[in-house]
């Protein structure tokens, strides 16, 4: 039987992992075993971070909207309920942006939604 040497493939695999671990602390960017573990964990954290980012931004938009609505003398839950009843399809992201950048327009939206109660 022919002897198979896999040094080139192993070296490529190691190089790929070490390249991904570039900039890591201590032996995590030098030793393959440590680097492999660090890269795996980094991937998990990156994945969960992408999901968390969506949650965090939604929370931020809700907090901003709540503050803007309170200044106008309303309540967030009632405002969102009124929006859904009137079938206004502006999402929280856009509403929070309007409330910060264009407060006069947001006030008009708020008054228009609350005038039909």
Q: What is the pLDDT of residue 116?
A: 56
pLDDT tens per residue across span 92-104 = 999 999 999 999 9
In a domain, 85, yes or no: yes
Asked if 77 and 113 touch (Cβ cutoff 8 Å), the reply is no
Closest CA to 95 of 75, 69, 56: 69
What distance lies between CA 96 and its chain's CA centroid? 16
pLDDT tens per residue across span 70-87 = 999 999 999 999 999 999
In a domain, 70, yes or no: yes
Asked if 106 and 66 touch (Cβ cutoff 8 Å), the reply is no
Count of the separate structural domains present in the chain: 1
What global pTM score does this model have? 0.75
In a domain, 11, yes or no: yes
The boundaries of the domain holding residue 83 are 7-114
Closest CA to 64 of 53, 74, 76: 76
Whether residue 28 has pLDDT greater than 80: yes
In a domain, 58, yes or no: yes
Whether residue 117 has pLDDT greater than 70: no
In a domain, 1, yes or no: no
Q: Phi-psi region for residue 27, left (φ > 0), alpha (ψ -120 to 50) or beta?
A: alpha
Whether residue 37 has pLDDT greater than 80: yes
Identify the CATH number of the domain in which residue 92 sits. 1.10.1900.20
Closest CA to 95 of 111, 110, 82, 112: 110
């Amino acid at each position: 039987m022919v002897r198979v040497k896999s040094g080139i493939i192993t070296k490529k695999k190691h190089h790929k992992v070490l390249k991904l671990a570039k900039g890591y602390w201590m032996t995590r960017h030098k030793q393959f075993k440590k680097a492999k573990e660090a890269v795996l964990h980094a991937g998990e954290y990156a994945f969960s971070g992408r999901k968390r980012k969506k949650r965090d931004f939604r929370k931020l938009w809700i907090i901003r909207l709540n503050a803007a609505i309170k200044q106008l003398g309303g309540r967030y839950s009632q405002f969102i309920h009124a929006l859904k009843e009137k079938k206004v399809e502006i999402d929280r992201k856009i509403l929070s942006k309007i409330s910060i950048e264009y407060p006069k327009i947001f006030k008009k939206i708020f008054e228009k939604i609350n005038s039909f109660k």
